[in-house]
Structure 1
């Protein structure tokens, strides 16, 4: 029992959920994509939703509260974001696979403690804590330090995308970025690790060794936490779902799911 959640429930909010359905229903698990801070469901609707549906997977993307066309929430917390994910996942027709990108991977990690997912995928995960804060300050001091004092956490387009993506597209995507809640930003930089996942689902971690947001060592630490090694895509930027070679990581995710990974059985 989670007494605090009964005593202080998360405030309801309008949630934007975009989806794409396969032409023929094949009984495959639905995918719920969770974007990182500043991104909305649009980031997955651009390429990955339709591509997943074309391979037979029902695909959905959620805009966390305060993002995209979901309701405003300037003081949202990680707990509220995880609540959004679990509520949407629970409303899907079958047990879902949760796919989190960036800070959305941290939200998914927290949601896994509340929702018995079929599996989970952490894409270029930003899992929080002081190590994350130190790396962010070293790589992007002007964009990170304002977040410590309640300002927005800013990432430049050249941190998000490889040089293979045309400048006009990179600028267009960067111009759509919003901001996360002040409390959630602080919790991301300093927060606690997520509780163990319900049912011990299989977890795939993937990213790029050339990511200018997440160091390669952080990808390795994240994968080890779930008893595996990261799947790497050299030459790609942090926003893998929008970068020039976006098909490669999503096809790797779908290939992994088609093998129907079993629970890890870790103690």
Structure 2
């Protein structure tokens, strides 16, 4: 029983959800992609959404409140973001797989404590804490310092993408980035460990050892939290779903899902 949820419910907001449906229903679980701070559903619609559907998975990508085509929410919190994920997942026709990228991985971790997911996947997860802030400050001081006083956290294209992605394409993607709520950014720094996942679902962590946002050590810590080891893709940037070799991680993710026994 969460008394706060009853006493202070999360304010409703319009939620953007993009969907790609397989041509033939193969009975595979729906996959819900959750973007990180600054990103919207478009980040998965570029490549991963249709690719997952082509492999038989009903695929959905959502925008957190204040992002993409979802309703404005300048005072959004991590609790509100997790609420959005749970509400969208609960509206799908069957038990969903939750896939979170970047800070969306932390949002998914909180959502897993409230929604009995088929499985969870964390893509280059930013799980919060001052260690995350210290890494960001060393690698991108100009883009990180404004976030301390409530400004926008800015990630550069060199942090997000590998050199294989054409510069014009990388600039185009970076130019579409928005911003998270000021309170959510602060909570990312002050984050405590999420509650245990409901039903103990299998959780996969994947990323790149060359990620300039999330170091390899943080990927290993995140995977250990769920009793495993990270699946790594050398030579890729933080935004694996948009980088030049985007097919490799999504195919590995879907291969993993196909091997999970029915629950």
Q: TM-score, normalised by structure 2?
A: 0.99
What is the Cα deviation at residue 261 of structure 1?
4.8
SS in 2 for 1:153: coil
SS of 2:98's equivalent in the other structure is strand
Give the deviation of 1:3 after TM superposition.
Answer: 0.1
Work out the CA distance in 2 between the residues paired with 1:185 and 1:120: 23
Give 1:262 shift.
6.9
1:88 aligns with 2:94: no
SS of 2:24 mapped into structure 1: coil
Cα distance in 2 for partners of 1:260, 1:59 equals 17
Residue in 1 aligned with 2:132?
Answer: 132
Deviation at residue 192 of structure 1 after TM alignment: 1.2
Equivalent residue, structure 1, for 2:27: 27
Whether the 8 Å contact between 1:201 and 1:262 is mirrored in structure 2 is: no
1:211-251 per-position Cα deviation (integer Å, ceiling 9, x unaligned)? 00000000000000000000000000000000000000000
Aligned to 1:141: 141
* Conservation of the 8 A alpha-carbon contact between 1:202 and 1:261: no
1:169 aligned partner = 169
Runs of 4 or more above 2 Å deviation: none
CA RMSD across the alignment: 0.9
Per the alignment, residue 189 of structure 2 pairs with 189
Paired position in structure 2 for 1:64: 64
Match of residue 179 from structure 1: 179
Q: 3-state DSSP class of the match of 1:177?
A: coil
Q: Within 5 Å, which residues of 2 pair with 1:1-267?
A: 1-261=1-261
| SS of residue in 1 equivalent to 2:85 | helix
Provide the C-alpha distance between the structure 1 equivalents of 2:195 and 2:102, rounded to a whole number of angstroms: 18
Displacement after TM superposition at 1:67 (Å):
0.2
Do 1:36 and 1:100's aligned partners in 2 also have CA atoms closer than 8 Å?
Answer: yes
Measured at CA, do residues 262 and 127 of structure 1 come closer, stay the same or move farther in structure 2, by a change above 3 Å? farther
Q: Hey, what's the Cα distance between the residues in 2 that align with 1:223 and 1:261?
A: 20
- How many aligned positions are there? 263
Partner SS state of residue 65, structure 1: coil
Unmatched runs of 5 consecutive residues or more in structure 1:
none
Shift, 1:118, TM fit: 0.3
> In structure 2, the residue corresponding to 1:136 is in which secondary structure?
helix
Quote the Cα distance in structure 1 between the aligned partners of 2:198 and 2:136.
30
Deviation string 1:190-223 (CA, Å, 9 cap, x unpaired) is 2111110000000000000000000000000000
SS of corresponding position for 1:50: helix
CA-CA distance at 1:120 after TM superposition: 0.4
CA distance in 1, matches of 2:113, 2:205: 17
* Residues 129 and 193, structure 1, Cα contact 8 Å, conserved in 2: no
